[in-house]
Amino acid sequence: MNLFDTIHIRTIALAPGAALAPMAGATDKAMRRLCERFGANMTVSEMVSARALTMGDRKSPLLMTGGGGSAPFGIQLFGHEPDVMGEAAAMIAGGKYHVPFDFLDINMGCPAPKITGPGAGSSLLRDPKRAEAIVRAVCRAAGDIPVTVKLRIGWDEEHLTGVEVAKRCEDAGAALFTVHGRTRREMYEPGIHADEIAKIKAAVSVPVLANGDVTTAEGALALMRETGCDGVAVGRGAMGNPWLFAQIRAAMCGEEIPAPPTLAERFAVLREHVRAMCDDKGERIAMCEARSHAAWYMRGLHGAAKLRRACCAMTTFLDLEDVIAMAYELQSHQPSDSSSSVIE
């Protein structure tokens, strides 16, 4: 494996760097565009219900906007019925929503009971044949458009079905896998199982991205070494920290890793991020959602708990300026060099 290599997935190419893992409620258009600017080599929409699309839901298509940027963008579908997944894929691939995108991704990782209950998300790891049938149906509907799969290593430690599911999905036409190195039972902690990701990588011949707990450039390289994977996908580590993508890209290219942002840079990007959310969704909805984003940007600062509370009370874009002013104020009382603070 050469870290300088571009990964080719049928018709899409991933430059060196890390992908932004999809996160419902976080990786909206504003965050994806920002991470892309900092070097994310691929982005994926928040998960979209195939059934909702086929029923004509009007909100779901909004989740699919934001493609057409510099990095390949995938629309992620979830569902448990192969025919419905195929129908939704055909609607998207046929241009019904007029949204630019580069590939379709299938969710086989979500652990939430409302998703796994009917048999979607990580529940597909308990039903490898159904997982295969879904990929087959989506690939058939997608034509030349690449279809990728995001999965976990298994349902629980007694059912480490990731290898079987990945092999079946590859047979059905999957062009890339992103593997979150946990079982469904483990949800999001404790640590990941790099050895299980490595087994999936070894079992298939298409590119595999390793995923789970990457928060530093060094961590990204270590995970690639441990798993033999072609790249990494970053989720929570990117929350409030789009700079991580530039750091990972530099590390992969053997370049000097850029310094962490200064406080002023951090807040300039936070403002830009929240402004973009307001432009996309309107101030009222955006500011509710921006509360958690703003709190993530405050991580590692002095007075973080107080700042988090202030973030949670924001209702207008102007409130963000008050929070930023409070953040500066709280840092100025500290004896240490917090003006060039590192995001921990």
Q: Assess contact for 59 and 48: CB atoms under 8 A.
A: no
Coil, helix or strand for 159? strand
In the complex with ligand FMN, the residue whose CB is nearer, 42 or 330, is 42
- To ligand FMN, the closest distance from the beta carbon of 213 in angstroms equals 4
In the complex with ligand FMN, the residue whose CB is nearer, 143 or 188, is 188
Q: What's the distance, Cα to Cα, between the start and end of the chain in Å?
A: 30
Angle between helices 317-332 and 263-281 in degrees, nearest 10? 170
Q: Assess contact for 177 and 149: CB atoms under 8 A.
A: yes
Q: Where are the beta strands (DSSP E) in the chain?
A: 7-9, 12-14, 18-20, 43-44, 48-49, 73-78, 103-108, 147-154, 176-183, 208-211, 231-234
- CA–CA dist 224, 156 (Å, integer): 24
Give how far Cα 37 sits from Cα of 61, 99, 269, Å: 23, 20, 11
- To ligand FMN, the closest distance from the beta carbon of 232 in angstroms equals 8
Q: Assess contact for 177 and 228: CB atoms under 8 A.
A: no
Specify whether 110 is catalytic. yes
In the complex with ligand FMN, the residue whose CB is nearer, 101 or 267, is 101
In the complex with ligand FMN, the residue whose CB is nearer, 109 or 327, is 109
In the complex with ligand FMN, the residue whose CB is nearer, 26 or 89, is 26
Give me the residue whose beta carbon is nearest to ligand FMN: 235
In the complex with ligand FMN, the residue whose CB is nearer, 294 or 330, is 294
Catalytic residue among 110, 169, 229, 311: 110
- To ligand FMN, the closest distance from the beta carbon of 332 in angstroms equals 33
- To ligand FMN, the closest distance from the beta carbon of 43 in angstroms equals 11
Coil, helix or strand for 177? strand
- To ligand FMN, the closest distance from the beta carbon of 112 in angstroms equals 9
One-character DSSP codes across 90-126: HHHHTTTT----SEEEEEE----HHHHTTT-GGGGGG
- What count of Cα atoms within 13 Å lies in the side-chain half-sphere of residue 259? 7
Angle between helices 217-227 and 243-252 in degrees, nearest 10? 50
- To ligand FMN, the closest distance from the beta carbon of 114 in angstroms equals 13
Q: Which residues bind ligand FMN (CB under 6 A)?
A: 21-26, 46-47, 76, 107, 109-110, 150, 180, 188, 211-214, 234-237
Catalytically active residues are: 110
